[in-house]
Structure 1
Amino acid sequence: MNPIRRIYTFFHKNLLTKTMAIGVVLALMGTTCLIQLANIQLVNGKGMAQAAAQSRTTTVTLKARRGKIMDTNGAILAQSVERYTIIGNPEQAQAFIPTTCTKQTGSNCHQINGKPVGVTGAAAVARLLAPVLGMDATELGAKLSISGQYVVLKKDVTPAVKRKISKLNLGGIVYAELSNERLYSNGTLMGSLLGGVDADGKGVAGIEQMENKTLTGRDGYQVYQQGNSGVEIPGTMTESKDAVNGSDVTLTIDRDVQWYTEKVLSDSENKYHSAWGIAMVQDVQSGDILALADSDTTEAGSDQAKMGASRAVSETFEPGSIGKVLAMSGMLQLGLHKIDDKFTVPNTVTVEGQTYKDAVDHGNEHWTLAGILEQSSNVGMVIAGDKMTNEQRYNFISKFGIGQATGLNLPGESEGVLHPSDSWDRRTRNTVLFGQGYTVNVMQLTNAISVIANKGVKKPQRIIKSITDTAGHVEEQQSKGEATRVIDESVASQMLNAMESSAEHYNTFVKVDGYRMAAKSGTAEVAGANGQLTSIISDYSTIIPADNPRFVITVVLKDPQGSFGGLTAGPVTAEIGEFLMQKYEVPASSPRTDAIPVNW
């Protein structure tokens, strides 16, 4: 074979061998791909599809709205409104590349005032978002430049702002989580009494805390798959549960009465230069509290409102001479005296080495038991109580509700202090006859006087009127406890008569034209800042109208100029009483014709 032929044969054989080798390799690769494809589709296809679906599946919480708090007439005192927390995904933000707006993109693009964004990443997201949130773009950019997939950008955003964000085409980068903002539309009205909620929407003070379980709803949820933009893929929802909003709470408080009572207290603080004031209005027949006020100016829902209880709830004090009503009622009920029994009352009296003196110096006076109350004589009470044992004194003070929980369950309420009679010393056994040696809160004292107005029966108090669930079903709330008879109706009638004489004693300063009042004043020395008896509590409780009791009003002032309760707290009760008579269109009183003699 010639040389040329041998060369041709050599190269032809090598080329054929290489071609066959390449063919074998390609065949093996094709077979491998077919096997892998079959494995994916036939063996692992279902599992991989499930894994992909799972990676897109998300659970979204549906926030329940907290119930409203309303006054007795349905005026809203506290409510939750729809608000959103704006969340950013830093990792997605840093990878963001804006889409330039063209005819082809339509509205699915990004621009600022008709111009391109100009940057990419977190800075681009910040430039788009800052004007809508009213924030600095640099600050937003910094928040979106951290590691991770979750950062809070802004809280308490309105639905209108949330809708603007949704038009920015930042799905998957920026989204909104529903939250509820608690609003108190009346500012300082009932500030500490309403209290407030914490960052999680839980009641932490006041009525918000007391009724937290009722006001709190149950969150719901949705489980679905979301696309790259963070939007739900239609038809992929697999599970859901609707949120159940909290129930609404209606109080017995009348907002108008509360507002006026707070106003009068504020005015009295300026007029009498008192350190603080407390006032309460109670409906005699129902035991409903129409106003529970103090002179503190605290915004409802504020940090201050969340930190402590209302002064009207927590403050305790010696009632002073108002306590004579309780002790004298016991004397009549036990048959130790009659209301018109005659006494000669000196300026001072000494019993077991303890001397007691009246507030105003006088000679030997001829007063009936009714006159002792009318003149508010401590000496007269000690003399009249001579046959009343310590245990009897304790029992009657206790029967009027002193030293016991009111049943209102208001956070921060103090029961006051009424020590057992076997612990009293020689002085305390007599000071309790005129309202010293024990302490009360304003709810206890008001309800005690309501016993006289309600013909001798102590009714449980109520501040929660009704509960309304999300379906609109209204459940009237009953007072805690049962009504109990403390004194006979005849005894209550005699005490009411004597209290009316006591009110007439001050009618130059304390009166409501056209209406009779039955009242008792009190003035007690209490410990001041130095621990000594350098401070004064002046209080006054009024039943109005006396001939047909509708309301009991109690006012308590700390260190007022003028000291005596009848001269300071008394006029404040008259202002509130006048407002009540007008608001509720109470008929004018008939003339008084049955006054029990106070002198002999």
Structure 2
Amino acid sequence: MRGTATSSRATAGTDRRLPVAPAKRRATQSNQRSASRDVERNRRKVSAPSPEKRARQRGVASPLRRLRITLVAIAVVLLAIVGRVAYLQTKEADSLQSAGADQWTRSYSLPAQRGTMFDRHGNELAMSVPAASISINPKLLVDGAVVVQELDTLLDLSDEKVASLLSEVESKDRGFVYVARQVDANAGDFIRALGHAGVNVDDESRREMPGGDTGRSVLGRTNIDGIGIAGLEQQYNDVMTGTGGSMTREVDPKQQTIAGSESITQAPVAGNDLVLTIDRSIQFATEQVLLEQLERIEAKGGTVIALETKTGEILGLASVRRDDQTGEYGVTNGNFAAVDAYEPGSVAKVITIAGALDAGAVTPETAFTVPWRKKYADDILKDSHEHPDELLTVSDILTESSNIGTIMVQQELGRYEHYDYMTAFGLGSKTALDFPGESPGLLKDVDELWGSERVTVAYGQGMSSTSLQLVSAINVIANGGVYVAPKLVKATVGPDGQQTPMPASATHRVVSKQAAAETTAMMQRVVCEGTAKMAQVDNLPVAGKTGTAFKAADNGTYYNEDGDRIYYASFVGFFPADDPQITILVSVDEPPAGTRDRFGGTAAAPVFAALVPTLLHEWNIQPSPGSKGCPE
């Protein structure tokens, strides 16, 4: 038990040692000293290399050298970066700017304002007003069907259009689809403010006529892109079309425009304005009077031209047609006075007789024994009514509108000379207007006329002319024997407001002043005593001539499918007869056959008489002192 306790105490105490024998202790101390001396000797033999040597042994430079290498490497990297930046800012600058702009900016064309058309007094006849085009990108729309329904509510789209848009939204095949063009600008602003992603609103313009249909036949029209496709809009399209500009604006990730980011890069330049010879009040009157007469007699259509005698400036030009489907009459987009050619009939007798008077072949008192019918070549030609052979002067022949008598006058003149006068009066060629689609009419060369054609041209059959040609031809008599080309445009006005007058109408003498005066006196007899009594105007001397011609049908005859004659009735006159100021031509296309209204004196002359008071007022025409109308 004692031994156990001693062992426990020995292990429990860390400072307690077991007793060692003295001899053994000395041997141990000697060994320790010998080991210490060996360690010291070995330490003296070891020599550590220097840091530089250790660095060389390890393949690493000194800290200073490492620093230098690091600085050089940094410098090289910086130089490379600077070089790259310089390259990008010079050689690649444009492409990078363009790429950046493509991401966040959009370019838009700015349409130029199309020129306005004014009447001679500065009243607007055709002008462009702000509008908007609405389109969608189906690929960007959110709740596309809802957006389409909202647009339908705002724009009142057709059912077909809505169905088409919904189909586009569902398929998402295209990135651009028009919703509506030329909508009201305010509606466009409202839709733009809604901010729908994928709905685009672009500014454009819409052509409008402040006077409604007034002047439509002359002005023509533009297509939906503002390009002239008829009338003066087409003829002067290049003049009225300006130079477009461009604008950029920034967009957000949803492709919506960032407010205030718009920037005009090139300002548009407006087109030139046109100042026409048309008088808006006279134009309106010509259309209304013609409409009333055509509706009353139920003709197919008609034209009216009123021009200033001395200058050839057209004051009013109307073309009216009946819609075959609805039966309603309206002012047309087409200028039939320039594009339709027809046989002028008895109006052409003025040219034949004036030429014969000018050439000295006849005088107003020259008399002929005139039968009511006579054979020429293989045809028997007739007057409008049966009568016994009678002695008629040249003045009587024109007053009574005798076909056979006019042929006799032509034969006195000679058919070659007659042909020269017809061309000098402007028949057979376009007028100086060169209106889009204008017809030159039909006048065969004198050597190409055969059989009865050689004489029927004396009274206006076997040849054709437009209303523009015919009114200009008869205006020769009103203008003292001088032809003056018709004119529609007085001036152009540039974007800076500078007005440039158009050249005066070309003129040339056709017959002598005496021949014109003698013909005028005969034409006064036509109004007072002959076929144009319905053209009389109280207390105003009027000179004129009627024409009733057969109109060729598509079947090559002068009869329609019902076997009825087809007529073309006309009247041309000028006033005051003793000092002509205005010349007017009225043409009625297909007045009803078999009625009293088929003649020039009944279908066309009343339009002239109804229109003259307006012209007297608007043009401030005062008859010469002492002058009066037809004697009672």
Superposition TM-score tier, normalisation by shorter sequence: 0.7 to 0.9
* 8 A contact 1:282–1:288 mirrored in 2: yes
Distance in 2 (alpha carbons) for counterparts of 1:70 and 1:439? 33
**Which structure has the larger Rg over C-alpha atoms?**
2
* 1:463 maps onto 2:488 in alignment: yes
Distance in 2 (alpha carbons) for counterparts of 1:341 and 1:470? 60
Q: How does 1:417-428 map to 2 (within 5 A)?
A: 417-428=442-453
* 1:565 maps onto 2:600 in alignment: yes
Q: TM-score, normalised by structure 2?
A: 0.75
* 8 A contact 2:133–2:188 mirrored in 1: no
1:219-238 deviation per Cα after TM superposition (whole angstroms, max 9, x unaligned): 1113465444643697896x
Distance in 2 (alpha carbons) for counterparts of 1:524 and 1:148? 59
In structure 2, do the counterparts of structure 1 residues 509 and 141 end up closer, same or farther at CA, with 3 Å as the change threshold? Answer: closer
Distance in 2 (alpha carbons) for counterparts of 1:39 and 1:80? 60
Which residue in the other structure is 2:186 paired with? 160
Which residue in the other structure is 1:55 paired with? 103
Q: How does 1:98-497 map to 2 (within 5 A)?
A: 122=144, 143-144=168-169, 146-147=172-173, 149-170=175-196, 173-223=198-248, 225-228=250-253, 230-231=256-257, 240-296=265-321, 309-351=334-376, 354-479=379-504, 482-497=506-521
Distance in 2 (alpha carbons) for counterparts of 1:297 and 1:245? 38
Distance in 2 (alpha carbons) for counterparts of 1:84 and 1:524? 50
Distance in 2 (alpha carbons) for counterparts of 1:211 and 1:406? 17
Secondary structure at the residue paired with 1:573?
helix
Instruction: Name the stretch that deviates more: 268-277 or 218-227.
Output: 218-227
* 8 A contact 2:483–2:509 mirrored in 1: yes
Give the Å deviation of 1:578.
2.6
1:53-96 deviation per Cα after TM superposition (whole angstroms, max 9, x unaligned): 553243221111211222222222222111122343444434xx
Distance in 2 (alpha carbons) for counterparts of 1:549 and 1:477? 24
In structure 2, do the counterparts of structure 1 residues 329 and 92 end up closer, same or farther at CA, with 3 Å as the change threshold? Answer: same
Distance in 2 (alpha carbons) for counterparts of 1:525 and 1:174? 59
Which residue in the other structure is 1:513 paired with? 538
Distance in 2 (alpha carbons) for counterparts of 1:356 and 1:129? 69
The alignment's C-alpha RMSD in Å is 3.5
Distance in 2 (alpha carbons) for counterparts of 1:593 and 1:342? 29
Distance in 2 (alpha carbons) for counterparts of 1:40 and 1:168? 50
Which residue in the other structure is 1:102 paired with? none
Secondary structure at the residue paired with 1:466?
strand
Which residue in the other structure is 1:598 paired with? none
Distance in 2 (alpha carbons) for counterparts of 1:142 and 1:425? 66
Give the Å deviation of 1:335.
1.3
Give the Å deviation of 1:581.
1.6
* 8 A contact 1:538–1:556 mirrored in 2: yes
User: Which runs of 5 or more structure 1 residues have no equivalent in the other structure?
Assistant: 1-33, 95-120, 299-303, 596-600
User: Which runs of 5 or more structure 2 residues have no equivalent in the other structure?
Assistant: 1-73, 324-328, 559-564
Secondary structure at the residue paired with 2:352?
helix
* 8 A contact 1:75–1:255 mirrored in 2: yes
Amino acid at match of 1:73: H
2:579 to 534, 548, 557: 548
Amino acid at match of 2:309: V
* 8 A contact 2:541–2:576 mirrored in 1: yes
Which residue in the other structure is 1:66 paired with? 114
Distance in 2 (alpha carbons) for counterparts of 1:325 and 1:260? 27
The sequence identity of aligned pairs, in percent, is 28
> Per residue, is there more helix in 1 or in 2?
2
1:525-580 deviation per Cα after TM superposition (whole angstroms, max 9, x unaligned): 23235432221222111111101101111111233232331232112211112321
Q: TM-score, normalised by structure 1?
A: 0.79
Distance in 2 (alpha carbons) for counterparts of 1:381 and 1:64? 57
Which residue in the other structure is 1:582 paired with? 617
Q: Which has the higher contact order (CA 8 A, sep 6+)?
A: 1
Give the Å deviation of 1:295.
2.1
In structure 2, do the counterparts of structure 1 residues 319 and 128 end up closer, same or farther at CA, with 3 Å as the change threshold? Answer: closer
